[in-house]
Every structure is written in C-alpha cells, then in structure tokens.
Chain A
Amino acid sequence: MTKAEPAQQAVVDAATAFEIQDFLYLEAELLDERRYPEWVNLVADDFTYQVPVPRTPDSPHKPHWDDRSLLIDESKWSLMSQWFRRFDADIYETAWGENPPVRFRHVLSNVRVHGLTGPAAYEVRSNVVLIATRQSDPPRYLSGRRTDELVRGDSGFLLRRRRVVLDQVLLDFPQLRIIL
C-alpha cells in the first residue's frame, strides 16, 4: 500500500457547519416539493451543475466516472427555462414526462464543510441518495457523492457549483433529468 497524507478534517466552526447543513436540507426540501421558483433563489447566477458519466474502470486506481463525458450539464438559465418552465400552468399538460410528475426524495448524509480560500466560500461534500417513485411503480434509488461550492451572499448562502459522482453504472431510474 502506498503511504497517504492524513485525511483532511473539516476546518470551519460548528455554527457555520450547522448553518450550511441546514441550507442543504432546505434546498433538498424545495426540490422534493417542486418549489422550483424558491429553489432558484438559492443558486448563484453563475451556477453550474454537472454529473459525469459513471463507468466500471479497469483498475482500482482509476475513477469510476469519466470526466470527458457528462450525463448532465446545466446552468441556472437552462434549469429555469428548460426544466422548471415545464411545470408552469400554461404548458405542464403537454410536458408529458412531468405529468404526473415523478416523486423525488433526497436523503443527505455525511455532510462535511471545508473553507475555501477567497471570501466566504465553502466546499461541502456529502453523500446523497435520490429516491424516485413513478406512478404506481416501486421506488428506485441512485446514490452518489456530492461536491458543492457555496458562497455567503447578502441574504444567506448561494449554491455556486454542484458536481455529483454516481455509484451505479447501468442506471435504472424512471428519468435521468434529475437534480441530485
């Protein structure tokens, strides 16, 4: 086994860590309840959301994802105008895949906060399980490791970047248009 540097511990104070954890719970709650107009207020204007394609690598020393290809690559603009817009009263009836909507449930754990250099910026790692229930089907699950970047704005935190690495390679989920 090769020698490793000691694992890094969280470096922010308990109050900040608690605030950030609560922010993530609120953010997940807004997604689960499809309160998208409120959710949008929690993300920065330059927000990016990416999920690389998962894979089974040929070595334990290689990542189980491929950064060259993405499953999801969205911005605040694309989420607002191409995802959430589909739930608006004037078009949801022909946004067939969202009607009836798949029910999503986020389960978050192992939240760890690191201070980043720069003003009031944090890297937050967490484990996420997303449970999706379509119509009368049994629930299906996806798990992943989330890395978020948060900044403290005038009226609380803003999510600036989210990147999620999935564990499952052959994805078995009712739809892949998902915010993990």
Chain B
Amino acid sequence: MTAVEERAGQVSRARWADRELFDLEMARIFSRCWQFLAHESEIPEPGDYVLRKMGRDVVIVVRDENGDVRVLLNSCRHRGVPLCRADSGNASHFRCSYHGWTYANTGELRGVTYQRDVYGRDGIDKSRLPLYAPAQVDTVFGLVFATWNRDAEPLREYLGDITWYLQAVFDKYPEGLEVVGTPVRNVVRANWKTEGENLSGDGYHTAITHASAFELGLFATERDLVKLADEIAPRFTGRTVCTPRGHTMRVQRLPLVLDGTHYFGYPAGMWPQFDARLSPAQRELMSALSVGHGSIFPNMSFIENFKTNVDGPDLHARYVRITIRYPIDATTSEELWLYLCPRGADSDWARLSRLAYLRTNGPSGLFEVDDTENFVGISEASRGDVARGLPVVLEGGRHHPATPVEAGWPGEVVDGDRTERTIRCFHRRWDELMGDSEAGR
C-alpha cells in the first residue's frame, strides 16, 4: 500500500446518496478545487463562448477580443438574470434582457441603461461590478480549468504528476486535438462521483460488465492480435497511477511482443509524429495501448481507447474522449461528452475513429449502456436506510507490486490491472477535503 491510498479502504455508501453530504461536497470540494471546463478548440475565435458549469453554477467560457480565455459567472450583477441562454455562440458583449446592463466579453461592466435617471447624476461605479469570475483560470495542453479558490495552488502544481500523462494523451499531435461539434449533454440518475471512480482506473469490472462487447469483437482477441504482431504475449497487462490530489490513471497494454513503437489504431503516418513529441517513457505508455483512462479530481475523466472491428472486420481505431459530471443532487448528475479528433487527420480515419467512439464509449455506445446501469443502480440501492450505512469494499489490488522506477513513470505507479487503488486514491482526497463530515452518520 502506497502513501496516497492510506485509509479509504472502506467508505460509507452514504457518499453516493446522502443529501447533506452532497451539500457539503458543493461547499468543500466544488468551491475549492480546480475544475475542468472546456477545450480551447471549442472557442477558437475572439467572442466564441460555450456555457459550462462549476459545481451547480453556470459559467460562460469565452475568448475575449485579446484572445485570452475568460470564465464568467452567467448571472447579471444587477438582479442575477443569466446573460447567455444558448449553449454556445459568439458575442463581443453580453446584454442582460431585464434592464439592459451590458458587459464586454472580458466581464467588464460597460453600459448601465438610464443611468442618471436611476442612479443619480454621478451614475453607478461600474468598475466595482464586473461579472463575477473565478479566482484563477489556466490552461494546460488546451484543457481549460478554473477555481473559485484564491488560495488554490497553481494549476500545474494541482495536477502534479498526472500532467505527464495528460501530455502523452493530449499533446502528442503536431497540430493538436479539436473537439468535434457540440458536446452531448444528458442526465444520469447516479451520484456525480460514480462514473469518475470507474474511469479513475477500474480494470476489475471490464470483463464482467462488458462481457457482451468481447462477444461482439470490440476488444482485440487472438484473431485480431495475430494480425498486429508476429508474437502474442500471454495476457493483457495493466498499470495504475495515483497522485496526491486524487488524480489517477490506468493503462492497459495489448498482449503483443514488439520491437519499437506501434501506435495501433492510428494511421501509420502519424506514428513518427508521436515518437517525435513523446519522451521514451511516454512512448512506452502510448505504444500498443489497449486502453488508457483516468480521472482528474473532482469530476473530469479522459479516455484513449483502441477498439476493434467497429465498422466491419479488421476496422480498428483509437479515439480520445473527455467526460464531465456536473452534480445536480445526491443521486442525479449531468454528463457532458467531448469527442476529440487530431487536427488535419485523414478523413477516412477520422470517420472510423468517431464511429469507434460512438459505438463503444459514446453516449449511445454499448459500453455506456452497461456501465450506466451499474452507476444508476449504486445510487438507487444506496438510498435505502440500511444500505446507506453500510460500507463499500475497495480493498482490491493492495498486494500488487510497485512498478520499477526505471520505467520512468511519475507518480505512485503499480503493476496490476484488476485493482481498486485508484478509487481509494479518489476517496482519500475526498476525505482530506471533506474533513469529519461523516461523523455521526
């Protein structure tokens, strides 16, 4: 057991259903932590904006006229009316529909209607009423984050060792990634934490929850593997990464014996580009990848997945997806789905990658249908008065060996695929932020 996963072997099921704990989470987690909001490619031009949430607050993520990304609370300083009603758009100014107060897309209050009539000859001091904004906004590899917390450590420090892994996923493309179109939004009747726990590194559920996907050929089987390499290794191998702020990742490698790097699922023309942008240890991470996924505390997850036979036999592709879960109440959340494609990618491959995503880990994909049933079920069952008081068991993988340091992977890294250590890591961070909130519960 590593330092990051101490405690948190058993946690109460109240965490997935209790209303008062939920309210405390909003105060102690969502008002303090850095949260992922958007990808820079969603707002390429000055004035482009998307609406997103930080906890239960709606914010405008906008590129101002100077090209800087701003995050603004979507609520007029006058009487609180939302300024943006569309999911996305382009605006140099935001004008309130109630009394017409107008803000530049930097958030600065520019116009107050009938000012002398309403506020006297000197008017109102506009400089003290810009749109309310997070204390810090920062971007890493195109990923925009913000926090309300003035005292929060800088984003790079907050992300810590997981940055190296985010770089391998999001920054290996010479022209970058772009989010393709409007993200899907849907309501999931599950606690906001549940899917993030799964994506944090649960390699234990895959063979059971997704058993039918094996039957359908969506996981590489011997039939596919023999065509990828001359020699097949005995089994899929996995590693998980834990970091002190609760960010984690799991990486599963295809069971192949290979020389050099092989980024299966991408056009061969892209392979040397990845080699050029990744360090040797990052190449090891990304080569022969079966799946890599992780969660950034509290509510963002990412996945890069190699899926086989997605549009017919031997048609395989990788894709990159980001999901976010916004809390609505203790047993309801809103999910946002971003599919990302490398800029300038071959169009036939891009189509196959998108199909691989949609048909497996997309909102209508079959993996999600099976996963969601589990996530919803946890909240349903944990509402019971007896069930809520019981612990869940999160003890798996404690005996797995640490990865040799020579591998060069940062963070606390362990060899072993079927594990619960990343979920323990999430809850250890949760404990740290929530303090003694469960006392007497």
Binding site for B on A (CB under 8 A): 51, 53, 55-59, 66-75, 77-78, 81-83, 85-86, 90-91, 94-98, 169-173, 175-178
Q: Determine if A171 and B355 form an interchain contact, defined as CB atoms under 8 angstroms apart.
A: no
Q: Determine if A173 and B186 form an interchain contact, defined as CB atoms under 8 angstroms apart.
A: yes
- In the complex, which of the residues B84, B216, B354, B369 contacts A175, with contact meaning CB atoms closer than 8 Å? B369
Q: Determine if A56 and B363 form an interchain contact, defined as CB atoms under 8 angstroms apart.
A: no
Could you list 27 A-B pairs, sorted by A, with CB under 8 Å? A53-B181, A53-B183, A55-B182, A56-B85, A57-B89, A69-B183, A70-B354, A71-B358, A71-B362, A71-B364, A73-B355, A77-B311, A78-B359, A82-B359, A85-B215, A85-B216, A86-B212, A91-B211, A91-B212, A91-B215, A94-B211, A94-B215, A95-B366, A175-B372, A176-B184, A176-B364, A177-B366
Q: CA separation between A98 and B366, bound complex, in Å?
A: 10
- For window 345-375 of B, CB contacts with A under 8 Å fall at 354-355, 358-359, 362-366, 368-370, 372-374
Shortest Cβ distance from A19 into chain B, in angstroms? 31
CB-CB < 8 A to B363: which residues of A? 71, 171, 176
- For window 76-92 of B, CB contacts with A under 8 Å fall at 84-91
**Residues of A contacting B: mostly:** mixed
CB-CB < 8 A to B359: which residues of A? 74, 78, 82
Shortest Cβ distance from B35 into chain A, in angstroms? 19
- In the complex, which of the residues A53, A172, A173 contacts B182, with contact meaning CB atoms closer than 8 Å? A53
Q: CA separation between A94 and B355, bound complex, in Å?
A: 23
CB-CB < 8 A to A66: which residues of B? 181-182
Q: Determine if B88 and A58 form an interchain contact, defined as CB atoms under 8 angstroms apart.
A: yes
CB-CB < 8 A to B312: which residues of A? 77
Q: Determine if A170 and B209 form an interchain contact, defined as CB atoms under 8 angstroms apart.
A: no
Given contacts A53-B181, A171-B185, 13 further A-B contacts (CB under 8 A): A56-B86, A58-B85, A69-B183, A72-B364, A77-B312, A91-B212, A96-B209, A170-B334, A171-B187, A173-B186, A176-B364, A177-B364, A177-B368
Q: CA separation between A95 and B312, bound complex, in Å?
A: 20
Q: Determine if B364 and A178 form an interchain contact, defined as CB atoms under 8 angstroms apart.
A: yes
Shortest Cβ distance from B214 into chain A, in angstroms? 9
Q: Does B226 contact A (CB under 8 A)?
A: no
Q: Determine if A56 and B186 form an interchain contact, defined as CB atoms under 8 angstroms apart.
A: no
Q: Determine if A70 and B183 form an interchain contact, defined as CB atoms under 8 angstroms apart.
A: no
Shortest Cβ distance from A87 into chain B, in angstroms? 10
CB-CB < 8 A to A94: which residues of B? 208, 211-212, 215
